[in-house]
Amino acid sequence: MNDSQYNFTADELILAVEEAIEDCGEDIDYEGVSGLLTLTFKNGTKIIINKQAPLHEIWVATKFNGHHFHFDNEQWIDKRGGDEFWQFLSDAVSKQADASVSLSAE
């Protein structure tokens, strides 16, 4: 993947997260600025999703830990645990929102 492909794919992912949060039915605020997306929950905790362009990765910091995702076979995969991005994010958002939340790119 070259830099242009990475930026396009990563920007699409961040936009899809914004749309999924908007549609999830939970009271979660979000703010996106220059490849950085901050989700803020009612309890004051945050999840931060940001592009790491030099590494062609997406980094996600939650209340509990941080994860680095790389693009492989048309999906973003956690380098630590092998989790797919959307499943990981759904689990992390559910924990921090204290509600069952299922997110996807649709």
The predicted-structure confidence for 13-65, as pLDDT tens digits, reads as follows 999 999 999 999 899 999 999 899 999 999 999 999 999 999 999 999 999 99
**The model's pTM:** 0.90
Mean pLDDT within 77-82: 93
CA distances to 16, 24, 54, 99 from 13, in Å: 5, 16, 17, 23
Domain ranges across the chain: 3-97
17 touches 99 (CB < 8 A) = no
Mean pLDDT within 69-91: 94
Residue in 98, 6, 17, 104 with CA at minimum distance from that of residue 60: 17
pLDDT at 10: 96
* Res. 106 pLDDT band, cuts 50 70 90: confident
Return the CATH number of 3-97, one of 3.30.920.10, 3.40.50.620, 1.10.10.10, 3.30.160.20: 3.30.920.10
